[in-house]
Amino acid sequence: MKKIATIVCVLFICLSVFGIFGCGKKDEEVKVLKLAHGLDTTHPVHKAMVFMADRAQEKSAGRLRIDIYPSEQLGSERECIEQLQLGGLAMTKTSSSPLESFVPMMKVLGLPYIFRDSEHCWKVLLGPIGKELLAAGGSVGLKGLCFYDAGARSFYTRDRPINTPTDLRGMKIRVQKSNMAIKMIAAMGASATPIDWGELYTSLQQGVVDGAENNPPSFYTSMHYEICKYYILDEHTRVPDVLLISTKVWNELLPEFRNVLQEAADESVSYQRKLWAEKEKENLEAVAKARVKISRPDKRPFQDAVISMWEEFEGTEIGRLADRIKAVK
């Protein structure tokens, strides 16, 4: 009996060591972060975040998991940002435009025509100024991990083309909940109407607004081209998307997980930019096939119409930051 008891005891110890009774890793050893955003699952930015989540899991040997909730499942952009501040949500992706209300320095990215082109934009975002902007939300509980390419935003309308800012007069244009976007539309002569992204299709369909403004992949994946048959590539702004994490959540992460998450985010930027370039071209071709009339107006009249916005910020912190951005070669 003693021999049998000894053998059973040894077997129990061995089985416990090899995790058969413990079923491998304990649940508490796997850190799960919830990431919510408002985009469709076919959108290039969503795919980049899936790529990031996969890389984080690989790099952490399965100990860091990111669960993604797309299509405003957990709230609008603003609601998700507020949840980050409270620590109720770990991560979100937002456009830099609604982020202005929380991080005033982000307003500089909403200045029309601040970037000469995509190359200039990325030199800024990947350089010292970009790092400053990502860190600027620390005091309000928001840490930026990276920027994603959101291309250039342009107007699209239901039933008439826009060749100059004069054509916008009397029109209601949907904008993000951003003071800079509202000022820009007003400077061009239209009436800015802030509407959540998830409500925009219905608003266009019912004539609540006459048009909106966004990049080609968003115009396509949202299926707004089914209603809006004019796409005017005036490329007035290049406001990037920003991947945020709650500072409360960040500070509670193991240093190892912080490194893994930042590396995975950085890697996803390169992946997303390549995917974005492909999708932008592909989506423009797709909306053209859907009988959307695409035009490329002279940008000078649009630039002239928003000079007042630049003058407003002269001598301010935003104005000085804008001068630094323009100086980047």
Which parts of the chain register pLDDT below 70? 1-28
The strands making up 191-194's β-sheet, listed across from edge to edge, are 191-194, 172-175, 211-214, 153-157, 230-237, 293-295
To the question of pTM greater than 0.75 for the whole model, the response is yes
**pLDDT attached to residue 297:** 97
Name which of 122, 97, 100, 135 is nearest 218 in CA terms.
97
Where in the chain do CATH 3.40.190.170 domains reside?
Answer: 27-107+117-151+240-282, 153-238+285-327
**pLDDT attached to residue 29:** 85
Q: Which CATH class is domain 27-107+117-151+240-282?
A: alpha beta
Name residue 208's amino acid: V
The strands making up 64-69's β-sheet, listed across from edge to edge, are 64-69, 31-36, 91-95, 241-246, 142-148
153-238+285-327: which CATH topology?
D-Maltodextrin-Binding Protein; domain 2 (3.40.190)
Name which of 301, 152, 306, 294 is nearest 229 in CA terms.
294
